């Protein structure tokens, strides 16, 4: 199974609407069963019952077809990390042997079992596709609900482990690439917009002191007192405004500092082409600038999907599966990452 996954493009390596700035859209629906205590109170018998109920629903329904059902206790730590690197499971599930996941072989959705909530339905689509992602998540939700009762009250909506998710139980988010707003130190304007629309923002990749790669997640905070469509429209609006800010920053910087920007992009291209050792954070930083160069047509021989795909495959578990061995040290992994990138860019020459 993992060899097949490795050969396929993951959720976010494809190119969707507004791909210049928006890498992916994600919708998650949190659901719980009224017959079981919340996740943090469940014992082994409860966990086994939950797994059995969801498994039976998935194999009974024709909707889920060839979906894979995986118990994470049967996976090695490296396999769990691989699934997390693909966004099929979360970091919390990577560390939890009592979780299971159902996922579509085409990687359009996954159903997380015993993460924070009993069930989390997750749909990720490339680019800005909030309504489309919600419609698929809602369809999966309706299908599961034919076989599984949800904890729901007329006063509060869907009941969840964390009070901040009560109501719709929905988190909608987008992963944005904002290199020029970051470089120009204008993220303050983004934060102001995010607060105005009651959303939240966080960086994706960090080193010891800062966010690297200029990639951020923006998601809704409120789940109570609003409909799913209201939430989607608000987040879609704030993301559209941020896209405009980033595009304006790119146009202005390229117009006034064309040589500087092109030098930044080509320096990164040169470094990934010739380096013999590269950490994950350094690789993401350079791929971020190369991605900007591709979007602005400074680099014309590489497709955007190739850069998106590299951002997935340079993670350590992916590299180990490509290498067919566990790395003995971080130095060995950094050397393999540099060699992998050199080969990929040589193939594009």
Q: Positive or negative CA dihedral for 51, 57, 60, 61?
A: negative
Judged on CB neighbours under 10 Å (0-12, 13-18, 19+), 139 is: middle
pLDDT in tens, 93-116: 999 889 999 998 777 899 999 999
pLDDT in tens, 256-290: 999 999 999 999 999 999 999 999 999 999 999 99
* Gap between the Cα atoms of 293 and 314, Å rounded: 19
Per-residue model confidence (pLDDT) at position 5: 76
pLDDT in tens, 169-227: 999 999 999 999 998 888 899 999 999 988 999 887 776 567 788 999 999 988 888 89
* Gap between the Cα atoms of 328 and 105, Å rounded: 31
How many distinct helices (H) and strands (E) make up the chain? 13, 10
CA dist 98 to 81, 84, 149, Å? 15, 15, 21
**pTM (predicted TM-score):** 0.91
For residues 329 and 40, is the Cβ–Cβ distance under 8 A? no
**Position 8 pLDDT exceeds 80:** no
Share of the chain above pLDDT 70, in %: 97
Dump the DSSP string for 154-192.
TTTEE--SSGGGTBT-EEEEEEEE-HHHHHTT-HHHHHH
CA dist 290 to 48, 51, 271, 309, Å? 47, 44, 11, 13
Element (H, E) at 216: strand 211-220
């Amino acid at each position: 199974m993992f060899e097949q996954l490795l050969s396929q493009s993951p959720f976010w390596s494809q190119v969707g609407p507004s791909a210049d700035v928006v890498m992916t859209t994600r919708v998650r629906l949190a659901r719980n069963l009224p017959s079981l205590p919340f996740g943090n109170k469940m014992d082994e018998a409860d966990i086994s019952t939950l797994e059995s109920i969801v498994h039976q629903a998935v194999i009974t329904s024709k909707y889920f077809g060839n979906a894979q059902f995986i118990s994470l206790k049967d996976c090695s730590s490296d396999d769990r990390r691989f699934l997390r690197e693909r966004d099929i499971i979360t970091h919390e599930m990577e560390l939890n042997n009592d979780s299971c996941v159902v996922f579509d072989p085409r990687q359009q959705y996954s159903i997380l079992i015993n993460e924070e909530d009993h069930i989390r339905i997750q749909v990720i689509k490339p680019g800005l596709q909030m309504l489309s992602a919600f419609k698929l998540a809602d369809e999966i939700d309706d299908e599961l609900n034919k076989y599984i009762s949800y904890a729901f009250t007329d006063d509060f909506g869907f009941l969840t482990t964390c009070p901040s998710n009560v109501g719709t139980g929905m988190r909608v988010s987008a992963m944005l690439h904002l290199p020029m707003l970051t470089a120009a130190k204008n993220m303050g304007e983004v934060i102001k917009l995010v607060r105005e629309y009651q959303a939240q923002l966080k960086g994706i990749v960090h080193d010891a002191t800062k966010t690297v790669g200029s990639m951020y997640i923006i998601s809704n905070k409120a789940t109570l007192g609003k409909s799913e469509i209201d939430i989607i429209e608000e987040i879609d609006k704030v993301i559209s405004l941020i896209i405009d800010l980033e595009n304006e920053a790119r146009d202005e910087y390229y117009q006034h500092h064309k040589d500087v920007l092109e030098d930044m992009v080509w320096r990164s291209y040169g470094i990934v082409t010739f380096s013999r050792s590269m950490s994950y954070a350094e690789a993401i930083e350079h791929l971020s600038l190369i991605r900007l160069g591709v979007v602005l047509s400074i680099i014309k021989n590489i497709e955007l999907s190739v850069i998106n795909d590299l951002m997935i495959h340079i993670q350590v578990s992916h590299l180990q599966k490509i290498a067919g061995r566990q790395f003995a040290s971080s130095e060995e992994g950094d050397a393999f990452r540099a060699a992998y990138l050199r080969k990929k860019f040589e193939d594009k020459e």
